[in-house]
Structure formats: structure tokens, C-alpha cells
Structure 1
């Protein structure tokens, strides 16, 4: 959740689901607050420019809403649609080990970045001298040769 919107307790909200509005069908939401999982009861939501604004139950003014800013929400993975063979969710790719086709270890996926033309794997290798992150375009078959979610291994055409 982003910063507060207005004086009535609305909060800016950014969805990272493929279809942005789909996040509102994955209720309830959860947050980790003070090392305890809490459920969020959504009162209302609206589209606003390229994101959404939301109202949480019992949050009626700006000062109450400010306590919820810069918070990540979580959903129960069992709510997500079942995937077909060779499909995966982004969070399944995080922490996969990446090797090039010559079997050289490149690092571990720390994030995926969505761009207009293609997604990008962000890879970190703790064994290199300068701990540089590598960005590899996520282009299936051409660059990303295989993904083994079970063993958490990705093979890429990359030097």
C-alpha cells in the first residue's frame, strides 16, 4: 500500500497481478504487523489513474490511514488459479539458481522486473568480487532455455 489519499482514510494501492483488478478477488488480504499476521477487511476500492485507492474497514481519517502506508499485502496462495504445465508464478522463480548453457553459475534470482516489451530477471551472485547484479531479459526459448521449478534451477543463453 502506498501513501494516504485525501482526508477520509483512503490509501493509494498498487496491484502487481497480471490483470490489475484481479487482486480484489483474492480476499482476504493479510499483512505482517509486529511479527503477527493480521487480516485486512477491505471496505471499498476505486481505480485512480494507473493504480487504485482503497478504504479499509474502520479506517476513517488520514491519521489512521497513515499507519497502513508502505505496507505489503499477502494473499493465501491457494486462491490463485491452478497453472497449466510449464507455467509458474513469479514468486516461484525467486530464489532459483541460474546457470548458463555452459553450466556456469550466474547467481540467484532476487527479483523480476516488468517492462513494456519483456520482463527481466534480476540475479545476484555473492561469489563475485564486486557483488554486481545481473539483469537478464526474460525471453523464453531465445534466452531463458529452461525453468525447473521443482529443483529451483533456470538455464539461460548468457555469458
Structure 2
């Protein structure tokens, strides 16, 4: 049996249609790339079709210029019964120099679902290295924080 794939890197060239009025790649394009990488990572781990359940903590650190080579690195840092927490990092560089720089990072939660949209069981990911254990612990802390934020956000949800 094939081993689940824990991480993936997708590469894109920032094209003129990705640029906003300020001349930089707009956040929506970056978020699309993040979602694509999160899906590919989650599907590779679970062997299932997956949907986005949450995207948060997105931090735009530096702009991306048109013509840049963009790398979106995604890796599983926590698994539930059907969910996968994916840590993502976006780096960009001039393709001629390959001097990469961090531009964006975030967490996305993907859920494996069947053809009826119902959650499906996935393989458990068990952290082994110190870095993996730390990221796994952080993912658990973030779950608690998201629950609290969700409760606070209810004030904005119409009945």
C-alpha cells in the first residue's frame, strides 16, 4: 500500500491577470493558490476528495510582484477523524535569482468527504520530530482559540 503524502509544494508564475491596482499580486490570487495547495496536500494524505472547512491566521508578510516564481508549501500538522490541519507557507522570488522570501503564511483545515458530502475517516498523522510535535501542539491550541473566536463571532450572524 502507498504511504500517504504529508506535504506538497505547488509552483506558479505570478501573471499580469493576478495583479491588483497597486501593481502587486492581489490577496485573492494568493488565497486561491493556498486553497489549491491545501486541497492537494489533504487529498494526498487522505486519499479522498476534500473540502475547505476553515482558513485562518492568514498573514501577508510581503508583496508578490508580477513575473515572480511563487512556491506554496503545504504540510499536514494535525489530523482528526476526518479533518486535516494544513500549515501553508508562500514564498516568492525572481525566477532568475531564486532568492526566495516569505510572503504569506496561514493554516487551512480540510475535511475528507464522500460523494454525499459526509465526512470520511482518514489516516492519523503522528508527529515524530521535535518540530512536528511543536506544530501538532500549536494546532491543538489553535483549535481551542478558534472555538472561542467562533463563539464571539456569533454576534455577527443573523438569525
Looking at CA atoms only, which structure, 1 or 2, has the larger radius of gyration? 1
Higher helix share: 2
| TM-score, structure 2 normalization | 0.25
**Which structure would you say has the larger RCO, counting Cα contacts within 8 Å and 6 or more residues apart?**
2
TM-score (norm 1): 0.25
Q: Which has the higher strand share?
A: 1
